[in-house]
Structure 1
């Protein structure tokens, strides 16, 4: 089903890309956009994971360079019945993580150094289990391809805005008004697609991730801490590539700019409540940190450090 949805997404975004091309250059622009979109779709399917990892400066680690993290991912992947994904580390102070890849056999999990510093061992496990749930559900293909294509559309809109293309054309009947509409609507359309594919998937990944890790309240606590700290600690790579925001476990954008429209996540409070209900149904005890962490950032020095070296 996700392959079918991915095909529909690529077709829809190709049509949008052609529309943008028409607004910029008329029929010739639409034809050029079709050719470019076709090549982009092929590239996105095979290489979007590498692009996203590169955007965020992720470096692959192994059992020698990050033994504890690598061992944790391996154990959780075994529990999830998944092949061992590649493991990446992003040198970023904001605690966050995402998964990528076109299928479970070609997948990767990336976490920030901030995540390993700020969260306890069981909380990190909950986050990684959530990302493995995305891989098991085959969410990563559509999420990664969307990030690549939507990012390209936004770049095209910015290109038109800064160059003023279309403003002096009489042959397409659109002119400056059409260009301005494209600059506004193209990124908005891409954002709406991202919202449609992300919100329900996060709830599903939370639930499956809780089952994989066996600690729903640890995941709830992790979500609270990440959400709290993400508002206080900037993620420069995410701000530079806001079309990738939907891939992270918690929205990494600060909200200081208009590109925070790319926020695609359900409210953290609602996700925590769902995990607490799941824990209650399984007989788990309350974990006060899950709610108290929201809205009260704790200094880094007061947080326990995981065994990551």
Structure 2
């Protein structure tokens, strides 16, 4: 229930902020949101705005979704080792390091910028892996942060969101106008009404599914690069051993919004729908020294 409330509150906050931004743009710049130019501005505000607000809230949301405990003063040798290992690997400002309670072996990194990031590992990962393997996992997550992967994926998500919103409304307006025998002189809304909004929803579902394939592709590529970054930091054998260990466990149980940031993803019938490449392909890439 807590996660549902958090999800609803977050999305409500995003809608409120973006509505205020849209009102300001309309009053200050006189943008007509009934024109195609205005529609593109509207789509960009909600497409990029939603993506970036989610990015800036990502660390806060991740801590609460997983109930991660940030290590401020280490209370054990394991916690002290985790802090020292991340500090040694980080070529950026020291990320926050956290542990969250979960039986599955997993870890994730998130944060709005390279210098304001979080690296978290599960208790299941600490129990199931030896120090060399945990070190490789930490190096993988630190590489995500150093590569700026969170910002890159947000920009890509913003672009595809913008085009999904724009195309869905533009096509819905054209079809609705044609069905009513009423051209609106370039207006995207085609007179509005239930038919228009029904078409918008339909097209957003279709275009959103197609756009997801683009986001999933870039997500898989960044996993290869983070694996390669870990190999440079700790050596390919350690990263391969960590991936082999991960392959023995079940698929990721992280929430969908955080799934792309974990070291392990979920299996699907098609690789096109996966946020992470199959582990055997990641191991093969490390052995072939691809993405180095």
In structure 2, the CA distance between the partners of 1:89 and 1:79, relative to structure 1 (3 Å rule), is closer
Shift in Å, 1:45: 4.5
Distance 1:195 1:184 in 2: 16
- Higher relative CO (Cα under 8 Å, sequence separation at least 6) belongs to 1
Unaligned runs of 5+ in 2: 1-17, 23-32, 165-175, 177-188
Q: Which residue of 2 aligns with 1:204?
A: 225
In structure 2, the CA distance between the partners of 1:126 and 1:263, relative to structure 1 (3 Å rule), is same
2:191 to 153, 171, 185: 171
Q: Which residue of 1 aligns with 2:124?
A: 114
In structure 2, the CA distance between the partners of 1:274 and 1:196, relative to structure 1 (3 Å rule), is closer
Distance 1:87 1:194 in 2: 27
Distance 1:262 1:70 in 2: 38
Unaligned runs of 5+ in 1: 1-13, 19-25, 155-165, 279-309
1:227 to 236, 247, 257: 247
TM-score (norm 2): 0.63
Query: 1:132 aligned to 2:146?
Result: no
What is the correspondence of 1:128-277 to structure 2 with a 5 Å cutoff? 128-143=138-153, 171-172=191-192, 174-189=196-211, 191-214=212-235, 216-231=236-251, 235=253, 238=254, 241-251=255-265, 253=266, 255=268, 263-277=274-288
Q: Which residue of 2 aligns with 1:91?
A: 101
In structure 2, the CA distance between the partners of 1:97 and 1:117, relative to structure 1 (3 Å rule), is same
Name the SS for the 1:247 alignment partner. Answer: coil
Larger radius of gyration: 2
Distance 1:76 1:37 in 2: 34
The CA RMSD over aligned residues, in Å, is: 3.9
In structure 2, the CA distance between the partners of 1:147 and 1:87, relative to structure 1 (3 Å rule), is farther
Distance 1:264 1:146 in 2: 14
Distance 1:247 1:126 in 2: 16
